[in-house]
Amino acid sequence: MIERYTLPEMGRVWSDQHKYELWCRVETLVLEAHAAAGRVPADVVEPVRAAPPPTPERVAEIEETTQHDVIAFLTAWADNTSPRSAAAYVHHGMTSSDLLDTALAVQLTEATDLLLARMDRLVAVLRDHALAHRDTIKVGRTHGVHAEPDVWGHRVADIAFAAARSRDRLRAARERVGVVAISGAVGTYSLIDPSVEVDVARALDLRPADASTQVVLRDSVSEWVAALAIIATVCETVALEVRHGQRTEVRELSEAFGSGQKGSSAMPHKKNPIRSERIAGLARVVRAAVVPVMEGIPLWHERDISHSSTERVFLPDAAITTDYLLHLTTGLVENLVVDVQRMRDNLESTGGLIYTSSVLLEVVERGLSREDAYALVQSSAMETWNTGTPFRETLRARAAASGVALDEARLDEICRPERYVQRLGPLFDRLAALS
């Protein structure tokens, strides 16, 4: 991922330097387990443990010749080991994927812990924003068209619960990807005792794989990426709401616009929802990772490496982008400008059409068939759409022409927006308990 969208902590997790540090750690843990069991000389452990990780530049230089990154790493690290002869026992009984998959599991869990912390923050910010606007009346829209009265806090609450569910999915995915596989060339432990895998897993606070061939099957990694894609799309849900709300014709919501900020090189009046649009664009990047990573599940027999190049691109990019998306979305909500009066004005802009559902039931309860009641209310509504005449007036005239008596006091009660949201209390109680 380009530097523009990479935050420091997550960038560090996926850096080559950190990767080689993890490789050194895994190899050292394996060597310690071997030495403790008496399989290798005990005096080789300390020189290996003390050897500094090789630099990415040195590994890349050797890989130009070997065309094998693990061998290049082992060679470069051996060059850093004194005496170099101690390095002869590094990678003892292992295959490359024992190292790669185990270190990757550490990276995935480290990345997940950073993401979970950001998810906690986003859930809290969404919850608090929704509770602050539990009484902010707005029009609810379906298909982009005014439907019935709602409150802004209800819409945000829905997204807050979705964010919490997304966090739960990611937490579950962390458990699945946090596995150690040190089982040899085809996963049969032919040259390495299974106890080594157990010891390394314990030291890394992970768990041994239930089974592996030369690699761990990629269903769990695919689940993890899918969890990130859902998180990214929940972030986009927030952004889409803001993008709509900031349209000139709507103007109910807007991103914070700082002193000195510019919206357009050509049009000085512009205040554009750039943060929301960036969120929408980057969410596509995360979703794009799902299928390529999932296609790494079916490999030839005990292993091929068709998954490897895909994962080197998409796993870091998905994690880094999701991290940045969570940062953007949290800031968006924290600084969101809500125009309460504009929401009320828009609610009333259709002349009362938002009350047709309740009026329909009221007319049915006064004795009309549902078909006749629907025809009366719809024809009145269409006249309001076409002429701009308030709905109560068109309804009154058409009801009189049809011989239908209306209870004006009852219609006054029906056409009160607060009536539509009076049963949302338990929802906000549930939201207040969300953590």
Asked if 163 contacts 127 with a C-beta cutoff of 8 angstroms, the reply is no
The DSSP 8-state label assigned to residue 216 in this structure reads -
- Residue of 143, 259, 269, 301 marked active site: 143
Is the dihedral angle over the CA atoms 211, 98, 13, 308 positive or is it negative? negative
What residues have CB less than 8 Å from 289, skipping those under 6 apart? 225, 228, 229, 314, 315, 317, 318
- Find where tokens 């900020």 sit: 261
Asked if 225 contacts 176 with a C-beta cutoff of 8 angstroms, the reply is no
DSSP β-bridge partners for residue 142? 145
Using DSSP, state whether 151 is helix, strand or coil.
strand
- Residue of 82, 85, 190, 264 marked active site: 264
Asked if 212 contacts 197 with a C-beta cutoff of 8 angstroms, the reply is no
| 264 belongs to the catalytic site | yes
Q: How far apart are CA 160 and CA 128, in angstroms?
A: 9
3-state SS string over 388-428? CCCHHHHHHHHHHHHCCCCCHHHHHHHCCHHHHHCCCHHHH
First to last CA, the chain: 31
Q: Within a 10 A sphere around the Cβ of 46, how many other Cβ atoms?
A: 11
Q: How far apart are CA 12 and CA 158, in angstroms?
A: 34
The tokens describing 326, both together, are 């969570």
Q: How far apart are CA 23 and CA 90, in angstroms?
A: 11
The tokens describing 363, both together, are 């007319």
| 143 belongs to the catalytic site | yes
Is the dihedral angle over the CA atoms 307, 308, 310, 314 positive or is it negative? positive
The tokens describing 417, both together, are 């927006």
Q: How far apart are CA 157 and CA 164, in angstroms?
A: 11
What residues have CB less than 8 Å from 181, skipping those under 6 apart? 97, 98, 101, 102, 187, 197, 208, 209, 212, 215, 216
Closest CA to 289 of 216, 223, 221, 229: 229
E strands in 87-193: 137-142, 145-151, 179-180
Q: How far apart are CA 86 and CA 99, in angstroms?
A: 19
Q: How far apart are CA 432 and CA 435, in angstroms?
A: 8
The catalytic site residues sit at 143, 264
